[in-house]
Amino acid sequence: MTEQLSTQKAINTALREILADDAKSLVFGEDVGKLGGVFRVTDGLQTEFGAHRVIDTPLAESGILGMAAGLAMAGHRPIPEVQFDGFAYPAMNQIISQIARTNYRSRGATPMQMVLRIPSYGGIRAPELHGESIEATLAHVPGLKVVSPSNPHQAYHLLRRAHEMPDPVMFMEPKSRYWNRGDVDFENPGDLEGSLVAREGEDLTIIAWGAMVARSLEVAELAAEDDVSIEVVDARWLKPLDEDGLVASVAKTGRAVIVHEAPRTAGLGAEIGQLLTERLWGKLEAPVERVTGYDVPTPAGDLEDEYIPSIDRILFGVQRSLEY
């Protein structure tokens, strides 16, 4: 069965099904219950499953994640939310020192099976700390898995898959795409592991995730008008990275541009660039290009468009790579 849904609704549907299917699952965080979340992603869930399983917590992110750790130790499969990316910072200690390590610490006796939902990245003119891209920080932490869907179909299926995984998954939802609609094929998830070729091409590979996938597809469309054939790869899994998949695409095209919203220095673009260079030594036509946020705090809404990689800036990156 296929349905046209927004990403927001697709996630909502996945959560509803998880809560219905898995008695050990719970959803909690700030304002996720009665309000249904600031983005309405959890809309209706409390009415359906009760305030004991869909919980409006006090306003305390470290508490929310610490509670999740305790729940997981008791064999529950929590799906906590932090309201915005920037409010994951107060929870970093619980994420890094506890959630990422409890399986290790207990030699696998107490897995941390949970999905942390993080509305992520910029693009909605929100105030500061409501548009952060924290994937590199998370991907550097041993013991975490990190995934970021780019459209409703992916959002639905990757969330269901993440919930089944026995390890803690950081689920980074591109909030600027919550309201974009697309087909969700419920029966046919497709391959949910690794990266995904979102558009095939011959001359150059753009690697992106989250909201930058749609933008990169626009770039590919524009480039096609100039007879440049761009392959767009949706990285999806940011930890573990799909090394083989990324390498396969770039081996074919010989050129790569990585696009992300996070600041450039020590961003995930560096890891992917270095990986591609290691694996494709002598086979790249140009150094791997990065088109990223600048090394500045995500600016206020009016400057957001200057900060987030624009179509123009991605095109410049493509041009630099092609003209190398």
Partner 1 sequence: MPVPPSSAAQPAQLWPPQNGVTVDVETLRGLAERMLVTRVLDTEAVRWQRQGILPAFPPAIGQEAAQVGSAMALDRARDMAFITYRDHGVVVGLDSDLTDYMGSHLALWNGGFADPNKVRHSPLQAVVGATALHAMGWAYAQKLDGTGGAAIAYFGDGASSQGDVHEAMNFAAVSKSPVVFFVQNNGWSLSTPLDLQVAGGSVAARASGYSMPSMRIDGDDVGEVYAATQIALEHAREHGPVVIEAFTYRRGPHATSDDPSRYRSLEEERALGPDPIDVARQLVADEAWWAEAEQRAEQAVDAVRVQMQSPRTIDGNDMFDYVFQEKTPQLVKQQEQWREETDLD
Ligand X SMILES: Cc1ncc(C[n+]2csc(CCOP(=O)(O)OP(=O)(O)O)c2C)c(N)n1
Active site residues: 130
Residue 171 region, left (φ>0) first, then alpha (ψ -120 to 50), else beta? beta
Scan for tokens 């980074």, then name that residue: 172
Residue number, 78 or 152, with CB nearest to partner 1: 78
Question: What x/- string results for residues 97 through 136 when contact with its own copies is judged by CB under 8 A?
Answer: x--xx--xx----------------------xx------x
> 42: which strand partners?
none
Question: Least distance in Å: CB of 72 to its own copies?
Answer: 17
State which of residues 9, 117, 239, 260 lies at the interface with partner 1 (CB under 8 A): 239
Residue number with CB closer to ligand X (87 or 171): 87
Residue that is written with structure tokens 């899994």 in the block:
237
111 binds partner 1 (CB under 8 A): yes
Looking at the Cβ atoms of 36 and 80, the one nearer to its own copies is 80
How many CA atoms are closer than 13 Å to the CA of 21, on its beta-carbon side? 9
Sign of CA dihedral 73, 79, 83, 87: positive
- x/- contact string, 60-99, with ligand X (CB under 6 A)? -x---------------------x---x--x---------
Q: Which is nearer to ligand X, 49 or 87 (CB)?
A: 87
Smallest distance from its own copies to CB 119, Å: 16
Single out the residue of 2, 70, 274, 278 in contact with partner 1 (rule: CB under 8 A).
70
Task: Tell me how far, at minimum, the Cβ of 52 lies from partner 1, in Å.
Answer: 6
In the beta sheet, which residues pair with residue 289?
Answer: 257
Total residues interacting with partner 1, rule: CB under 8 A? 83
Helix axes 268-279, 243-253, angle to 10 degrees: 70
Tell me the β-bridge partners of 206. Answer: 232, 257
Shortest distance (Å) from residue 305 CB to ligand X: 23
Residue 2 or 265: which CB sits closer to partner 1? 265
260 binds partner 1 (CB under 8 A): no
Query: What region does 236 belong to: left with phi over 0, alpha with psi -120 to 50, or beta?
Result: left
Note whether 239 binds its own copies by CB under 8 A. yes
Question: Which listed option, ligand X, its own copies, partner 1, none, makes contact with residue 281 (CB within 5 to 8 Å by class)?
Answer: its own copies
267 contributes a contact to its own copies by CB under 8 A: yes
User: Which residues lie closer than 8 Å to 162 by C-beta, 6 or more apart?
Assistant: 115, 145, 147, 169, 171
Q: Is 2 in the site for partner 1 (CB under 8 A)?
A: no
* In the complex, least distance from residue 126 CB atom to ligand X, rounded to whole angstroms: 10
Name which of 169, 172, 290, 190 is nearest 240 in CA terms. Answer: 169
310: which DSSP letter? P
Q: How many residues bind ligand X (CB under 6 A)?
A: 6
Q: Write down the least CB distance from residue 307 to partner 1, Å.
A: 7
Q: Is 224 helix (H, G, I), strand (E, B) or coil?
A: helix
Q: Should residue 277 be labelled a site residue for its own copies when binding is judged by CB under 8 A? A: yes
CA dihedral 301, 302, 304, 305 (to 10 degrees): 140
